[in-house]
A and B are shown apart, each in its own frame.
Chain A
Amino acid sequence: MIEALRARAGRLAVIGLPYLWLAIFFLLPFAIVLKISMSDPATAQPPYRPVLDIFGGVAHWRDFLLALDFENFETLWSDSLYVHAALSSLRIALVSTGLLLFVGYPIAYAMARAAPGLRPLFVAMVILPFWTSFLIRVYAWIGILKPEGLLNQLLLWLDIIAAPLAILNTPTAVYIGIVYAYLPFMILPLYASLERQDPTLIEAAQDLGAPAWKAFLTITVPLSMPGIVAGALLCFIPIVGEFVVPDLLGGSETLMIGRTLWSEFFSNRDWPLASAVAIVLLIIIVIPIVVYRELEAERWEAAR
């Protein structure tokens, strides 16, 4: 009897541990942020009201819960700044992901078709930038893109332009920075799926009358779909919340929700509003994942 109970407890512990982990490190912080987002700002420490005293008794709990509201979310919705920031973030993330795919696919394809002995070297080269700090690498782009920077000097020297281009502090600079920063996250999943492809499939397609470009479109691309989706999600999600690149390379007109969040937190010290922004950001990011999961499940369903 006790043996059986102990076995069950052991099993529960094994199954329960990951959930416990999830609860402590994901759900609990989320609940705290959600709670703060429903509070009111205050000049105090911490800078919001009400503050929960877990052992404050039933009356305290009731007062606490009644004090919570969705005011901050209403503010977000009614203030066009936030809506704009969210939409602009989505747009930038979408365009960047498209650019990343456009730039990353040929690179991943070339890597996958390289001699097998060279492939690990290429993979190492793609990962290499991670060995220096992200911040420093983005700062380096300032040195490249500023009016008297390397890029302008080169173009002037080549007589391609007559006067320095203003790239820094424009959306162009943001796109350049984002594409640079996220390229490995696009290349690696693409490479993984392309490298696994059997090259005789392309030969078979050509043998059946398809020229190389058609074989690429009808065989290579569809078979690399899992890599495309993984790379796109891996880039799209963090780009929506990206803060460093627009802050350092983008001008004041580049509106992104991650930057808005930062200024609410640290400049305005409006923690509740900032938390509301964080929650909205989370929702924006979760939707594509859910959609993807749905599509994936459907695909599996169709395959059986």
Chain B
Amino acid sequence: MNARVQPARPAIGAVRRAFAPWNDPQAKPLIRFENVTKRFGPTVAVDDLSLDIFEREFFCLLGPSGCGKSTLMRLLAGFEQPTAGRVILGGADLAGVPPYRRPVNMMFQSYALFPHMSVAKNVAYGLKQESLPRGEIERRVQEMLQLVQLEALANRRPDQLSGGQRQRVALARSLAKQPKVLLLDEPLAALDKKLREETQFELMDIQQRLGTTFLVVTHDQEEAMTMADRIAVMDRGRLAQVATPGDLYEQPQTRFVAEFVGDINLLEGRVAGGEGGFWQITSPLAPAPLTVHDPDEALETGQAVAVAVRPEKMTISRDKPAAGGNAIEGEVWDIGYLGDWTVYRVKLGDGAILRVSRANASRFVEQPIDWEERVHLGFAPDAAIILTR
């Protein structure tokens, strides 16, 4: 065998997943969007998009408002027909299959609970359509209500429930038919922050237990990072990047993704040279060329690029950092104390503002950095990546 010996590379991101069928060329996707385009008159909601989603995957669609997330989901549920391309589920083309025959259930953003039916009747609605025996329906409804901890409220009507309880009913109703795929369109948008976090973990737990494939739309990137096996970032009907949360955060491929997922500082510049994966980038923002370790890029001298550094991967100090790292000088413009973090906004010579965050690891700080102080920002070659697009 002539397999090249590769130096062991450390893992990207904080979590290593054993579940990664997308890396397995043998694996068959459960859902496949094949060059799907959807137009509404002049608007192109989904633009020649191809995407594979695997069984048991918890998949998040992330993107700004109007980028086509809901449309993609509705194409799968059958409420919209693609203008071009194919939507394939379990190997079968879904074209012409009406929504009520697709083994896919949806949890609507507005929950769409039937206001004239009790909680139990809402959950039973889908099962009744299958004309199951009555005892079986009752058993399954009980099971679902137990799953979302709503047994006590089975006879209430939706307008007698709190927002969080309604959301659980909607979840139970969409899970009752044991769909192959559960579509959730901004399922947690109506909940307050605390309840939302709790529910995120509950959703993950339920997904683990049932083994259902989840496709979740959200425009809350933290929510997507918490729950998803993989995230697709959408931009104007196209996929900007599909990756695990760790890859997405640590190795964004475009400026759009880098800026959409988390906070990032972009230093525009040009390639001055490089070898062995270490690149020299000259930037008008930095006095000396910046050194960035990004072995995956193949760059040409003179090429316009951006050096991207996350705020938490930068240091801030009064003293000039030791030689070897990258250093930029500036003036503290703004300080935000968030409790767990403190965020400094530092103004550079030409007016550009960089963000640096520091974990508040100790309760006491000696001589804290103050407004309008002159400071040095530093980052290691490994902390930054180079963006060409």
Contacts and interface: CB of A to CB of B under 8 A. Distances in A.
Contact of A208 (B79, B110, B126): B126
A207 B78 CA distance: 8
A198 interface: yes
Contacts of A200: 108, 110, 112
Contacts of B112: 198, 200-201, 203-204
Contact of B114 (A201, A207, A303, A304): A201
Contacts of B157: 303
B238 interface: no
Nearest to B103: A209
Contacts of B99: 203, 206-207
A211 B98 contact: yes
Given A198-B110, A204-B108, A303-B157, A210 B129 contact: yes
Contacts of B125: 205, 208, 210, 218
A219 B112 CA distance: 11
A219 B110 contact: no
Contacts, number: 58
Contact of A214 (B106, B129, B174): B129
Interface in B97-150: 98-101, 104-106, 108, 110, 112-116, 125-126, 129-130
Nearest to B131: A209
B208 to A, nearest CB: 24
A222 interface: yes
B98 A208 contact: no
A301 to B, nearest CB: 13
A223 B106 CA distance: 22
B270 interface: no
A183 B298 CA distance: 75
A222 to B, nearest CB: 5
Interface in A189-217: 198, 200-201, 203-211, 214
A207 B77 contact: yes
A194 to B, nearest CB: 14
A206 B108 contact: no
Contact of B100 (A210, A218, A304): A210
Contacts of A201: 112, 114
A207 B106 contact: yes
Given A203-B79, A214-B129, A303-B157, A208 B173 contact: yes
Nearest to B104: A207
B376 interface: no
A265 B9 CA distance: 105
B126 A209 contact: yes
Interface pairs A-B: 3 shortest CB-CB: A209-B129, A208-B126, A204-B112
6 contacts: A198-B110, A201-B114, A204-B113, A207-B77, A208-B125, A210-B129
Interface of B: 77, 79, 98-101, 104-106, 108, 110, 112-116, 125-126, 129-130, 157, 160, 173-174, 177
Given A207-B77, A208-B125, A303-B157, 14 more contacts: A198-B110, A200-B108, A200-B112, A203-B108, A204-B106, A204-B108, A205-B125, A206-B99, A207-B104, A207-B174, A208-B177, A209-B100, A209-B126, A214-B129
